[in-house]
Structure 1
Amino acid sequence: MKLKPKITIADHFALMEDPRIDRTKRHNLIDILTIALCIVICGADSWVAIELYGCTKYEWLKTFLELPNGIPSHDTFARVFAQLNPQQFQSCFLNWIKSIQIRTDSEVVAIDGKTLCGSHDKSSGQSAIQMVSVWATTNRLVLGQVKVDEKSNEITAIPELLKVLELSGCIVTIDAIGCQKDIVKLITQQNADYVITLKKNQGNLYDEVENLFKSGISTGFQGFGHSTYKTEETGHGRHEIRHYVMLSDIQSRLDPNSVWSNFNSIGMVESVRQVNGKTTVETRYFISSLKDNAKKFANSVRSHWGIENSLHWVLDVALKEDDCRRGKDNAPQNFAVMRHIAVNLLGKEQRVKRGIKNKQFLAAMDNKYLERVLALA
């Protein structure tokens, strides 16, 4: 039987339309994109650094790129990334992710926004852009991202992502800004579950949920389907106990007209934290499509913060996203996609048991290791 050839990331991005007119095309678009990806994997953060890297690694790059007119200038890199269609770039990224993604049953998929502080351009009046990202917490992959419109917020951006992702069997977690009926509906239409933070932006529902938990606690949860789970952690001068409670069979009380899709349960997390002898108590509420399973609910809530610790932190600390001044027009948005590709590739490389920053350093020094990382694409 003849095996189908592997479709690589280069194949997906080869479908990009080149925004340059013919007379300015001295360099192949795929060469420009590949060199840029190499330098992001290696940890550089400027157009000049991309050109310098290309010149330094020219002989190695020439072994797999055409480079008909040598290495592009830093101005060429900046101009091309500013002109590339960000929707097409995003589409190529999504198609690549779909080709490498391994589905994990009940995987928690976290959706959250992040401001790219370095994308602010005072001279042109361009404010810092905000990107909404989707993070698969088990497989540790960025599944997609979309720019938030300047005159809008995450409420309009999240549905754009949900419409193009494949989420069947997953548990989608979002903070309170995603607590919207239309967003919940889009999630359940994909045969996915949800755990969404509930805050006072949903005034009546928040008050009703809070009162229902208070009533349940006072009566020992008589008349409620419920489950509980507890975790306890100690370290770095901190002691924290979290009590998780889920109430099911609540639709007739909270949503008799079924305006929320698959609204099967509500959750409460009470965190009791002791730090340096001081005790604080925090209570948070959630709505969910999950059945009564406090342990699964707890895992979903805790896993959601993986997008902060495993993605946003890596982007800021290892890839210096907040310090990165990456040009005008579409360049900041397109380069954000490049950083997400780098995070995915460096995360997939498991033979070297080091953090992302050290993997970047190794990739910059060792062409063989960089080839291994690129081969994962």
Structure 2
Amino acid sequence: MQLHIKLVLELSGCIVTIDAIGCQKQIVELITQQNADYVITLKKNQGNLYDEVEKLFKSGISTGFNCVQHSTYKTEETGHGRHEIRNYVMLCGISSQLNPDSVWSNFNSVGMVESVRSLDGKTTVETRYFISSLESNAQQLAKSIRSHWGIENSLHWLLDVALREDDCRIRKDNAPENFAVLRQIAVNLLTQ
């Protein structure tokens, strides 16, 4: 399968954040060609890379990240009946180990977020991984990830609650795509 993507946004100086669906070499190359940085969610759709990153973090945790250039950052939030602690770790200087053939453009670091959430007496732990062109700065990683989800959550809330997108019964021909575009235009106009 060959992927043809044309980038029409001016990204110079920006940090682009993308979910795991965007964890593709061609997308990363387009971002870096525009002198932008990236933070992209890494999931098991990138099997070998995911496994190697997971092993690297497990090894680092067991040795206290000795001999590995890293940074850490921690946030703690309480609200809406829940308490959440997020531990961010970012490793850099790993390019030769994880990207020896330089197939990922400007691949400088990997990040990990461990979220420990307590809600109604139950505690859950979730670990997520990221690839990035950023140098080791866990606080910047945290800000990028949280900003991504803040935008994502507010947009989906607006589409689902205010515009009742999930209740829409339009299903025929191009109508669903057309109405999705109209909703996006409405959201853009309302936010201006």
Give distance in 2, aligned partners of 1:267 and 1:335: 37
Give the secondary-structure state (helix, strand or coil) at the position aligned to 2:103. Answer: coil
2:68 is aligned with 1:209? no
- Normalised by the length of structure 2, the TM-score is 0.91
1:24-77 Cα offsets, whole Å, 9 max, x none, are xxxxxxxxxxxxxxxxxxxxxxxxxxxxxxxxxxxxxxxxxxxxxxxxxxxxxx
Question: For 1:98-113, what aligned pairs fall within 5 Å after superposition?
Answer: none
Give distance in 2, aligned partners of 1:322 and 1:222: 49
2:135 is aligned with 1:291? yes
Give distance in 1, aligned partners of 2:134 and 2:59: 21
Partner of 2:27: 183
Give distance in 2, aligned partners of 1:258 and 1:305: 29
Q: Which has the larger radius of gyration?
A: 1
Partner of 2:144: 300
Aligned length: 192
Shift of 1:218: 2.0
Q: Which structure: greater strand fraction?
A: 2
Structure 1 gaps of 5+ residues are 1-151, 349-377
Shift of 1:261: 0.4
Counterpart code for 1:257: D
Partner of 1:166: 10
Shift of 1:327: 6.7
Counterpart code for 1:226: H
Taking every aligned residue pair, what percent have the same amino acid on both sides? 79
Partner of 2:157: 313
Q: Which residue, out of 41, 49, 54, partners 1:197?
A: 41
Give the secondary-structure state (helix, strand or coil) at the position aligned to 1:168. Answer: coil
Give distance in 2, aligned partners of 1:287 and 1:242: 18
Give distance in 1, aligned partners of 2:178 and 2:8: 18
2:98 is aligned with 1:232? no
Give distance in 2, aligned partners of 1:236 and 1:330: 40
Partner of 1:356: none
1:91-129 Cα offsets, whole Å, 9 max, x none, are xxxxxxxxxxxxxxxxxxxxxxxxxxxxxxxxxxxxxxx
Partner of 1:336: 180
RMSD: 2.0
Give the secondary-structure state (helix, strand or coil) at the position aligned to 2:179. Answer: helix
Give distance in 1, aligned partners of 2:56 and 2:129: 11
Question: For 1:1-377, what aligned pairs fall within 5 Å after superposition?
Answer: 160=5, 163-326=7-170, 328-348=172-192
Partner of 1:371: none
Counterpart code for 1:336: A
Shift of 1:337: 1.9
Structure 2 gaps of 5+ residues are none
Give the secondary-structure state (helix, strand or coil) at the position aligned to 2:180. Answer: helix
